[in-house]
Amino acid sequence: MKNYSQISLKLTEFLASYLEKSGAKGFVLGVSGGLDSAVVAALCARTGIETHALLMPTKYSNERNLSDALKLCKDLKITHKIIEIQPILDSFTAQIGEQPSNLRMGNLSARARMCLLYDYSAKVNALVVGTSNKSERLLGYGTIYGDMACALNPIGELFKTEIYELARELGIDEKIIAKAPSADLWEGQSDEADIGYTYQRLDEVLRLVQSKSEAELACEFDPKLVATVFSRMRANKFKLSLPPIASVNGE
Residues flagged as binding site for deamido-NAD(+): 111
CA separation for the pair 154, 125 (Å, rounded): 19
103/87 Cα distance (integer angstroms): 18
* Angstrom distance (rounded) from CA 42 to CA 46: 6
Q: Which residues define the annotated binding site for Mg(2+)?
A: 36, 136
How far apart CA 33 and CA 198 sit, in angstroms, is 20
Amino acid code (one letter) for 222: D
**Residue 51, SS3?**
strand
Nearest to 114 by CA among 100, 126, 130: 130
Sequence ranges of the binding site for ATP: 30-37, 131, 160, 182
Which segments are annotated as binding site?
Answer: 30-37, 111, 131, 136, 160, 182
